[in-house]
Chain A
Amino acid sequence: MIASLSLILLCQLAGEAFVRGLGLPMPGPVVGLALLLLLLLARDRFDILACGPLQGGGVENASRGLLAHLSLLFVPAGVGVVQQLGLIAQYGVAIAAVLAISVVVTLLATVATFLVASRLLARGGGEP
Protein backbone atom coordinates (compact mmCIF):
# COMPACT_ATOMS: atom_id res chain seq x y z
CA MET A 1 0.00 0.00 0.00
CA ILE A 2 2.72 2.48 1.01
CA ALA A 3 4.90 1.44 -1.92
CA SER A 4 1.95 1.81 -4.31
CA LEU A 5 1.09 5.29 -3.05
CA SER A 6 4.77 6.24 -3.25
CA LEU A 7 4.87 5.13 -6.87
CA ILE A 8 1.81 7.28 -7.67
CA LEU A 9 3.33 10.30 -5.90
CA LEU A 10 6.65 9.65 -7.63
CA CYS A 11 4.95 9.74 -11.04
CA GLN A 12 3.24 13.01 -10.11
CA LEU A 13 6.52 14.46 -8.81
CA ALA A 14 8.35 13.49 -12.00
CA GLY A 15 5.48 15.01 -14.02
CA GLU A 16 5.65 18.30 -12.10
CA ALA A 17 9.45 18.45 -12.40
CA PHE A 18 9.24 17.75 -16.13
CA VAL A 19 6.57 20.40 -16.75
CA ARG A 20 8.16 23.09 -14.56
CA GLY A 21 11.67 22.29 -15.76
CA LEU A 22 10.76 22.70 -19.42
CA GLY A 23 8.24 25.51 -18.80
CA LEU A 24 5.45 23.58 -20.55
CA PRO A 25 1.88 24.95 -20.30
CA MET A 26 0.39 21.60 -19.21
CA PRO A 27 -0.51 20.18 -15.80
CA GLY A 28 2.09 18.00 -14.04
CA PRO A 29 -0.33 15.23 -12.91
CA VAL A 30 -1.33 14.61 -16.56
CA VAL A 31 2.32 13.88 -17.40
CA GLY A 32 2.38 11.67 -14.27
CA LEU A 33 -0.61 9.77 -15.66
CA ALA A 34 1.21 9.13 -18.94
CA LEU A 35 4.28 7.99 -17.01
CA LEU A 36 2.35 5.49 -14.88
CA LEU A 37 0.62 4.16 -17.99
CA LEU A 38 3.98 3.65 -19.71
CA LEU A 39 5.31 1.86 -16.60
CA LEU A 40 2.31 -0.51 -16.57
CA LEU A 41 2.69 -1.25 -20.29
CA ALA A 42 6.46 -1.74 -19.95
CA ARG A 43 5.91 -4.17 -17.05
CA ASP A 44 4.00 -6.54 -19.35
CA ARG A 45 6.90 -6.60 -21.78
CA PHE A 46 9.89 -6.69 -19.40
CA ASP A 47 9.71 -9.13 -16.47
CA ILE A 48 12.39 -7.22 -14.57
CA LEU A 49 9.92 -4.36 -13.90
CA ALA A 50 7.35 -6.68 -12.30
CA CYS A 51 8.42 -6.05 -8.72
CA GLY A 52 7.26 -4.02 -5.70
CA PRO A 53 4.03 -2.09 -6.35
CA LEU A 54 4.01 -3.17 -10.01
CA GLN A 55 3.28 -6.81 -9.11
CA GLY A 56 0.23 -8.53 -7.62
CA GLY A 57 -2.10 -5.62 -8.40
CA GLY A 58 -0.49 -3.28 -5.82
CA VAL A 59 -0.65 0.02 -7.69
CA GLU A 60 -3.91 -1.03 -9.36
CA ASN A 61 -5.64 -1.45 -6.00
CA ALA A 62 -4.28 1.81 -4.59
CA SER A 63 -5.50 3.66 -7.69
CA ARG A 64 -8.94 2.11 -7.49
CA GLY A 65 -9.08 3.23 -3.85
CA LEU A 66 -8.27 6.82 -4.83
CA LEU A 67 -10.75 6.85 -7.72
CA ALA A 68 -13.60 5.25 -5.77
CA HIS A 69 -14.36 8.59 -4.10
CA LEU A 70 -13.15 10.99 -6.76
CA SER A 71 -15.99 13.44 -6.23
CA LEU A 72 -15.12 13.87 -2.51
CA LEU A 73 -11.88 15.51 -3.62
CA PHE A 74 -13.79 18.42 -5.20
CA VAL A 75 -15.63 19.36 -2.00
CA PRO A 76 -12.94 21.68 -0.51
CA ALA A 77 -12.68 23.68 -3.77
CA GLY A 78 -16.47 23.84 -4.03
CA VAL A 79 -16.89 25.19 -0.49
CA GLY A 80 -14.84 28.18 -1.75
CA VAL A 81 -18.22 29.51 -2.91
CA VAL A 82 -18.49 31.14 0.56
CA GLN A 83 -15.74 33.57 -0.51
CA GLN A 84 -17.73 34.62 -3.58
CA LEU A 85 -21.08 35.54 -2.04
CA GLY A 86 -20.86 39.21 -3.10
CA LEU A 87 -20.11 38.25 -6.68
CA ILE A 88 -22.87 35.65 -6.64
CA ALA A 89 -25.45 38.16 -5.38
CA GLN A 90 -24.49 40.39 -8.31
CA TYR A 91 -23.94 37.90 -11.17
CA GLY A 92 -25.06 34.52 -9.77
CA VAL A 93 -27.99 33.98 -12.12
CA ALA A 94 -25.98 34.91 -15.23
CA ILE A 95 -23.04 32.70 -14.16
CA ALA A 96 -25.34 29.73 -13.47
CA ALA A 97 -27.11 30.20 -16.83
CA VAL A 98 -23.80 30.47 -18.74
CA LEU A 99 -22.40 27.32 -17.09
CA ALA A 100 -25.61 25.32 -17.55
CA ILE A 101 -26.03 26.17 -21.25
CA SER A 102 -22.33 25.60 -21.92
CA VAL A 103 -22.33 22.17 -20.26
CA VAL A 104 -25.38 20.96 -22.22
CA VAL A 105 -23.97 22.27 -25.53
CA THR A 106 -20.61 20.61 -24.80
CA LEU A 107 -22.25 17.27 -23.88
CA LEU A 108 -24.30 17.21 -27.08
CA ALA A 109 -21.45 18.35 -29.38
CA THR A 110 -19.06 15.75 -27.94
CA VAL A 111 -21.47 12.82 -27.99
CA ALA A 112 -22.61 13.66 -31.55
CA THR A 113 -19.02 13.88 -32.83
CA PHE A 114 -18.11 10.57 -31.17
CA LEU A 115 -21.08 8.74 -32.70
CA VAL A 116 -20.73 10.27 -36.17
CA ALA A 117 -16.98 9.55 -36.25
CA SER A 118 -17.38 5.93 -35.10
CA ARG A 119 -20.18 5.34 -37.65
CA LEU A 120 -18.14 6.84 -40.51
CA LEU A 121 -15.15 4.68 -39.54
CA ALA A 122 -17.26 1.54 -39.28
CA ARG A 123 -18.66 2.19 -42.76
CA GLY A 124 -15.20 3.02 -44.19
CA GLY A 125 -13.71 -0.14 -42.59
CA GLY A 126 -16.54 -2.31 -43.96
CA GLU A 127 -15.79 -1.43 -47.57
CA PRO A 128 -13.11 -3.49 -49.35
Chain B
Amino acid sequence: MSQNPFSLWVYLSQSPLLWLTVTLLTYAVADAVSLATHRHPLANPVLHSMWIIGVFLLATGTSYTTYFGGAQFVHFLLGPATVALAVPLYENRKVVMAAILPMLAALAVGSVTAVASVVLLAEAFGLPRGVVLSLTPKSVTAGVAMGISESLHADPSLTAVAVVLTGIMGAITVTPLMNRVGITDFRARGFAVGIAAHGIGTARAFQVDAVAGVFAGIAMSLNALVTSLLVPLAVTLLVR
Protein backbone atom coordinates (compact mmCIF):
# COMPACT_ATOMS: atom_id res chain seq x y z
CA MET B 1 0.00 0.00 0.00
CA SER B 2 2.75 2.44 -0.86
CA GLN B 3 0.65 4.22 -3.53
CA ASN B 4 -1.81 6.76 -2.26
CA PRO B 5 -5.45 6.53 -3.44
CA PHE B 6 -5.11 9.77 -5.39
CA SER B 7 -2.50 8.41 -7.77
CA LEU B 8 -4.66 5.34 -8.32
CA TRP B 9 -7.56 7.65 -9.27
CA VAL B 10 -5.32 9.68 -11.58
CA TYR B 11 -4.31 6.46 -13.31
CA LEU B 12 -7.82 5.01 -13.60
CA SER B 13 -9.53 8.25 -14.60
CA GLN B 14 -7.29 8.48 -17.65
CA SER B 15 -7.96 4.90 -18.79
CA PRO B 16 -10.77 3.89 -21.17
CA LEU B 17 -11.67 1.01 -18.79
CA LEU B 18 -13.18 3.25 -16.11
CA TRP B 19 -15.35 5.32 -18.48
CA LEU B 20 -16.56 2.35 -20.49
CA THR B 21 -17.53 0.64 -17.22
CA VAL B 22 -19.28 3.78 -15.94
CA THR B 23 -21.26 4.07 -19.20
CA LEU B 24 -22.41 0.44 -19.22
CA LEU B 25 -23.09 0.25 -15.48
CA THR B 26 -25.11 3.49 -15.40
CA TYR B 27 -27.14 2.39 -18.40
CA ALA B 28 -27.71 -1.08 -16.89
CA VAL B 29 -29.08 0.51 -13.69
CA ALA B 30 -31.21 3.07 -15.61
CA ASP B 31 -32.56 0.28 -17.81
CA ALA B 32 -33.39 -1.88 -14.77
CA VAL B 33 -35.31 1.05 -13.26
CA SER B 34 -37.13 1.56 -16.57
CA LEU B 35 -38.09 -2.13 -16.59
CA ALA B 36 -39.21 -1.99 -12.94
CA THR B 37 -41.54 0.93 -13.77
CA HIS B 38 -43.03 -1.09 -16.68
CA ARG B 39 -41.20 1.09 -19.24
CA HIS B 40 -42.76 4.32 -18.03
CA PRO B 41 -41.94 7.04 -20.63
CA LEU B 42 -40.34 9.31 -18.00
CA ALA B 43 -38.00 6.52 -16.83
CA ASN B 44 -36.19 6.78 -20.19
CA PRO B 45 -32.80 5.09 -19.69
CA VAL B 46 -30.88 7.44 -22.03
CA LEU B 47 -32.17 10.54 -20.23
CA HIS B 48 -31.16 9.30 -16.80
CA SER B 49 -27.81 7.83 -17.89
CA MET B 50 -26.97 11.17 -19.50
CA TRP B 51 -27.42 13.38 -16.46
CA ILE B 52 -25.96 10.86 -13.98
CA ILE B 53 -22.76 10.47 -16.01
CA GLY B 54 -22.70 14.23 -16.70
CA VAL B 55 -22.88 15.07 -12.99
CA PHE B 56 -20.20 12.46 -12.25
CA LEU B 57 -17.86 14.00 -14.84
CA LEU B 58 -18.41 17.53 -13.47
CA ALA B 59 -17.97 16.38 -9.86
CA THR B 60 -14.68 14.63 -10.63
CA GLY B 61 -13.46 17.38 -12.97
CA THR B 62 -13.09 14.94 -15.86
CA SER B 63 -13.10 16.35 -19.39
CA TYR B 64 -15.51 15.04 -22.03
CA THR B 65 -12.51 14.11 -24.20
CA THR B 66 -11.19 11.80 -21.45
CA TYR B 67 -14.66 10.29 -20.96
CA PHE B 68 -15.10 9.76 -24.69
CA GLY B 69 -11.80 7.85 -24.77
CA GLY B 70 -13.68 5.03 -23.05
CA ALA B 71 -17.20 5.66 -24.31
CA GLN B 72 -16.13 5.71 -27.97
CA PHE B 73 -16.36 1.91 -28.07
CA VAL B 74 -20.10 2.19 -27.43
CA HIS B 75 -20.48 5.21 -29.75
CA PHE B 76 -18.80 3.29 -32.58
CA LEU B 77 -21.56 0.66 -32.56
CA LEU B 78 -24.09 3.23 -33.89
CA GLY B 79 -22.82 2.46 -37.42
CA PRO B 80 -23.08 -1.36 -37.27
CA ALA B 81 -26.48 -1.00 -35.52
CA THR B 82 -27.72 1.04 -38.49
CA VAL B 83 -26.60 -1.76 -40.85
CA ALA B 84 -28.30 -4.31 -38.56
CA LEU B 85 -31.66 -2.60 -39.19
CA ALA B 86 -31.66 -4.59 -42.45
CA VAL B 87 -32.65 -7.70 -40.47
CA PRO B 88 -36.02 -6.52 -39.03
CA LEU B 89 -36.69 -4.94 -42.45
CA TYR B 90 -36.00 -8.30 -44.16
CA GLU B 91 -38.03 -10.32 -41.66
CA ASN B 92 -41.06 -8.05 -42.06
CA ARG B 93 -40.75 -7.47 -45.80
CA LYS B 94 -44.34 -8.56 -46.50
CA VAL B 95 -45.85 -6.08 -43.99
CA VAL B 96 -43.55 -3.39 -45.36
CA MET B 97 -44.33 -3.97 -49.04
CA ALA B 98 -48.06 -3.89 -48.24
CA ALA B 99 -47.66 -0.37 -46.79
CA ILE B 100 -45.00 1.04 -49.11
CA LEU B 101 -47.05 3.94 -50.52
CA PRO B 102 -48.32 5.34 -47.19
CA MET B 103 -44.73 5.03 -45.93
CA LEU B 104 -43.27 7.04 -48.79
CA ALA B 105 -45.94 9.75 -48.38
CA ALA B 106 -45.35 9.92 -44.62
CA LEU B 107 -41.59 9.98 -45.18
CA ALA B 108 -41.84 12.98 -47.53
CA VAL B 109 -44.14 14.97 -45.24
CA GLY B 110 -42.41 13.93 -42.00
CA SER B 111 -38.83 14.68 -43.02
CA VAL B 112 -39.75 18.08 -44.48
CA THR B 113 -41.76 18.93 -41.34
CA ALA B 114 -38.89 17.88 -39.04
CA VAL B 115 -36.34 20.10 -40.81
CA ALA B 116 -38.57 23.08 -41.66
CA SER B 117 -40.22 23.27 -38.22
CA VAL B 118 -36.93 23.32 -36.34
CA VAL B 119 -35.42 26.01 -38.58
CA LEU B 120 -38.50 28.26 -38.46
CA LEU B 121 -39.01 27.82 -34.70
CA ALA B 122 -35.33 28.40 -33.90
CA GLU B 123 -35.39 31.62 -35.92
CA ALA B 124 -38.65 32.72 -34.28
CA PHE B 125 -37.04 32.16 -30.86
CA GLY B 126 -34.13 34.36 -31.97
CA LEU B 127 -31.38 31.74 -31.65
CA PRO B 128 -28.03 32.67 -33.26
CA ARG B 129 -27.23 31.30 -36.72
CA GLY B 130 -24.62 28.79 -35.46
CA VAL B 131 -27.14 27.24 -33.08
CA VAL B 132 -29.89 27.14 -35.74
CA LEU B 133 -27.58 25.27 -38.14
CA SER B 134 -26.52 22.83 -35.41
CA LEU B 135 -30.15 22.04 -34.53
CA THR B 136 -31.30 21.48 -38.13
CA PRO B 137 -30.44 17.74 -38.53
CA LYS B 138 -31.76 16.81 -35.04
CA SER B 139 -34.27 14.19 -36.22
CA VAL B 140 -31.73 11.77 -37.74
CA THR B 141 -29.52 9.27 -35.98
CA ALA B 142 -26.44 10.69 -34.20
CA GLY B 143 -23.66 9.59 -36.57
CA VAL B 144 -25.48 10.89 -39.64
CA ALA B 145 -26.58 14.15 -38.00
CA MET B 146 -23.03 14.92 -36.87
CA GLY B 147 -21.82 14.40 -40.44
CA ILE B 148 -24.47 16.80 -41.79
CA SER B 149 -23.54 19.34 -39.11
CA GLU B 150 -19.87 19.17 -40.10
CA SER B 151 -20.71 19.78 -43.74
CA LEU B 152 -22.66 22.93 -42.70
CA HIS B 153 -19.66 24.16 -40.63
CA ALA B 154 -21.93 24.04 -37.56
CA ASP B 155 -21.02 22.48 -34.18
CA PRO B 156 -21.29 18.63 -34.37
CA SER B 157 -21.12 18.25 -30.56
CA LEU B 158 -24.11 20.58 -30.13
CA THR B 159 -25.88 18.63 -32.90
CA ALA B 160 -25.24 15.37 -31.03
CA VAL B 161 -26.83 16.82 -27.89
CA ALA B 162 -29.82 18.13 -29.89
CA VAL B 163 -30.21 14.68 -31.50
CA VAL B 164 -30.24 12.88 -28.16
CA LEU B 165 -32.63 15.43 -26.58
CA THR B 166 -34.98 15.15 -29.57
CA GLY B 167 -34.88 11.36 -29.32
CA ILE B 168 -35.68 11.43 -25.61
CA MET B 169 -38.52 13.95 -26.10
CA GLY B 170 -39.99 11.87 -28.92
CA ALA B 171 -39.70 8.65 -26.90
CA ILE B 172 -41.38 10.27 -23.89
CA THR B 173 -44.24 11.96 -25.80
CA VAL B 174 -45.13 9.38 -28.45
CA THR B 175 -47.19 6.92 -26.37
CA PRO B 176 -49.30 9.48 -24.41
CA LEU B 177 -49.71 11.68 -27.53
CA MET B 178 -50.85 8.85 -29.83
CA ASN B 179 -53.20 7.46 -27.18
CA ARG B 180 -54.68 10.93 -26.66
CA VAL B 181 -55.24 11.44 -30.39
CA GLY B 182 -56.71 7.92 -30.58
CA ILE B 183 -54.34 6.31 -33.11
CA THR B 184 -54.32 2.53 -32.87
CA ASP B 185 -52.44 1.65 -36.08
CA PHE B 186 -49.04 0.59 -34.74
CA ARG B 187 -47.49 0.82 -38.21
CA ALA B 188 -48.32 4.55 -38.33
CA ARG B 189 -47.28 5.17 -34.71
CA GLY B 190 -43.95 3.42 -35.20
CA PHE B 191 -43.25 5.15 -38.49
CA ALA B 192 -43.92 8.58 -36.95
CA VAL B 193 -41.59 8.04 -34.01
CA GLY B 194 -38.85 6.71 -36.30
CA ILE B 195 -39.05 9.89 -38.42
CA ALA B 196 -39.26 12.31 -35.48
CA ALA B 197 -36.97 10.62 -32.96
CA HIS B 198 -34.56 8.22 -34.81
CA GLY B 199 -32.93 5.39 -32.80
CA ILE B 200 -34.12 6.41 -29.34
CA GLY B 201 -37.68 6.58 -30.67
CA THR B 202 -37.13 3.22 -32.39
CA ALA B 203 -35.89 1.65 -29.17
CA ARG B 204 -39.04 2.97 -27.47
CA ALA B 205 -41.25 1.60 -30.28
CA PHE B 206 -39.72 -1.88 -29.92
CA GLN B 207 -40.61 -1.77 -26.20
CA VAL B 208 -44.25 -0.99 -26.99
CA ASP B 209 -44.96 -3.18 -30.03
CA ALA B 210 -42.83 -5.30 -32.43
CA VAL B 211 -44.57 -4.02 -35.58
CA ALA B 212 -44.18 -0.43 -34.37
CA GLY B 213 -40.48 -1.11 -33.83
CA VAL B 214 -39.99 -2.43 -37.36
CA PHE B 215 -41.74 0.58 -38.91
CA ALA B 216 -39.75 2.93 -36.70
CA GLY B 217 -36.50 1.30 -37.84
CA ILE B 218 -37.47 1.66 -41.50
CA ALA B 219 -38.53 5.28 -40.97
CA MET B 220 -35.26 6.05 -39.20
CA SER B 221 -33.11 4.63 -41.98
CA LEU B 222 -35.12 6.23 -44.79
CA ASN B 223 -35.09 9.55 -42.93
CA ALA B 224 -31.30 9.43 -42.57
CA LEU B 225 -31.13 9.19 -46.34
CA VAL B 226 -33.68 11.92 -47.11
CA THR B 227 -32.59 14.39 -44.43
CA SER B 228 -28.95 14.37 -45.53
CA LEU B 229 -30.19 15.53 -48.94
CA LEU B 230 -32.85 17.88 -47.54
CA VAL B 231 -30.88 19.87 -44.94
CA PRO B 232 -28.55 21.75 -47.36
CA LEU B 233 -31.65 22.77 -49.36
CA ALA B 234 -33.58 23.89 -46.27
CA VAL B 235 -30.61 25.91 -45.03
CA THR B 236 -30.35 27.75 -48.36
CA LEU B 237 -34.07 28.50 -48.44
CA LEU B 238 -34.94 29.16 -44.80
CA VAL B 239 -31.92 30.36 -42.80
CA ARG B 240 -31.33 34.10 -42.94
Chain A positions within 8 Å of B, measured between CB atoms, are 5, 8-9, 11-12, 15, 25-30, 32-37, 40-41, 59-60, 62-64, 66-67, 69-84, 87, 91, 94-111, 113-115, 117-118, 121
Contact = CB atoms under 8 A, between A and B. Distances in A.
Contacts of A78: 46, 49-50, 160-161, 164-165, 168
6 contacts: A36-B83, A71-B171, A71-B200, A72-B74, A75-B71, A78-B161
A79 B188 contact: no
A20 B1 CA distance: 53
Given A8-B80, A37-B90, A95-B131, A108 B181 contact: yes
A118 B80 CA distance: 32
B99 A103 contact: no
Nearest to A105: B117
A103 B197 contact: yes
A74 B147 contact: no
Contacts of A74: 46, 78, 142, 163-164, 167, 199-200
B135 A98 contact: yes
A37 B197 CA distance: 23
Given A70-B199, A72-B31, A106-B117, 14 more contacts: A8-B84, A12-B80, A29-B78, A29-B143, A30-B225, A32-B83, A64-B84, A72-B46, A73-B74, A75-B71, A77-B161, A79-B57, A84-B158, A91-B127
Contacts, number: 309
A5 to B, nearest CB: 7
A9 B147 CA distance: 19
Instruction: Give chain B's interface secondary structure class.
Output: helix
Measured as residues with beta carbon below 8 angstroms from the partner, the interface class of chain B is 35 or more
A110 B167 CA distance: 16
Contacts of B197: 103, 107
B74 A33 contact: no
Instruction: Give chain A's interface secondary structure class.
Output: helix
B80 A9 contact: yes
Given A77-B160, A95-B131, A110-B110, A117 B74 contact: no
B169 A100 contact: yes
A106 B113 contact: yes
Nearest to B58: A82
Nearest to B52: A79
Contacts of A103: 139, 166, 169-170, 173, 196-197
Interface in B109-152: 109-110, 113-114, 117-118, 121-122, 125-128, 131, 135, 138-139, 142-144, 146-147, 151
A62 B18 CA distance: 26
Contacts of A105: 113, 117
Instruction: Name the residue in A77, A84, A104, A108 with the highest tally of chain B Cβ atoms < 10 Å from its Cβ.
Output: A77
B211 interface: no
Interface in B76-116: 77-91, 93, 99, 101-103, 105-106, 108-110, 113-114
Contact of B192 (A60, A107, A121): A107
